[in-house]
Amino acid sequence: MKEPKFEGGLDLGTWEVRRINLKKDPIPVSRKGIVTLYNRFISLAKHKDTRTDEVFMSHHDFLDIQELQMNPLGARIIDAFFADAEVGDRKRVYFRDFVKVLSHFRPINKAKPHPWNSREAKLRFAFTMYDLNKSGTITKDEFREILQMMIGGNVPVEQVNSIADRTMREADRDGDGCITFHEFCNVIISSNSVSSFILFHLR
């Protein structure tokens, strides 16, 4: 089978094209963007499946990325790449997985909606940043810990605690001491700032 050609002259392997499924399930990234992402992925991925020759990234590969090393939520973002159901227990991130997670950082395309880049997908991704123990809820301690990671070096501990307390009071509608995904959505959607929320907390 002849290798497909994309902008920039890059030949994407047949296996990669099959996995990303460009024709049957168009992703929220342009063809030119695919080439850029693929070049970036290949520069980062240091492993190849001996059975399929498919290139993949390990957890350690992500730890070597300087941008994530400098990001206070770097460890949480890395975890998100491996939390997806398609990744499961194999602890490998293939190109399709890579693109899927990065889609959460792109603006919502209202003209061409896609499940990877929908408002709900962005909210679920943001929610996982705070749900440290993957319990399906966010406790005040978890929320405080994430705030400490993001702004702890710039504000006093007392102010971090005050922000956490105030946010919990606003978000925890049923008063059980935890924020559910539904409660999380209510707070973010009511402020009409899903995109800015994602960009601020995950930049």
pLDDT, residue 4, reads: 42
pLDDT tens profile 148-193: 888 767 788 888 888 888 888 888 989 999 999 999 888 876 665 4
pLDDT, residue 86, reads: 57
pLDDT, residue 9, reads: 41
Domains, the chain, with CATH or none: 12-117 (1.10.238.10), 121-202 (1.10.238.10)
Q: Is residue 62 pLDDT above 90, yes or no?
A: yes
Residues above pLDDT 70, as percent of the chain? 68
Q: For the chain, give the DSSP string.
A: -PPPB-GGG-B--HHHHHHHTTTTS--SS-HHHHHHHHHHHHHH--EE-TTT--EEB-HHHHHT-HHHHHSTTHHHHHHHHHHSTTTGGG--B-HHHHHHHHGGGSPP-SSS--GGGSHHHHHHHHHHHH-TT-SSEEEHHHHHHHHHHHHTTTS-HHHHHHHHHHHHHHH-TT-SSEEEHHHHHHHHHHTT-HHHHHHHHH-
Give the chain's radius of gyration (CA, Å): 19
Q: Is residue 78 pLDDT above 80, yes or no?
A: yes
pLDDT tens profile 9-34: 444 544 455 555 444 455 556 667 77
pLDDT, residue 72, reads: 83
User: How sure is the predictor about 6, in pLDDT bands with cuts at 50, 70 and 90?
Assistant: very low
pLDDT, residue 186, reads: 84
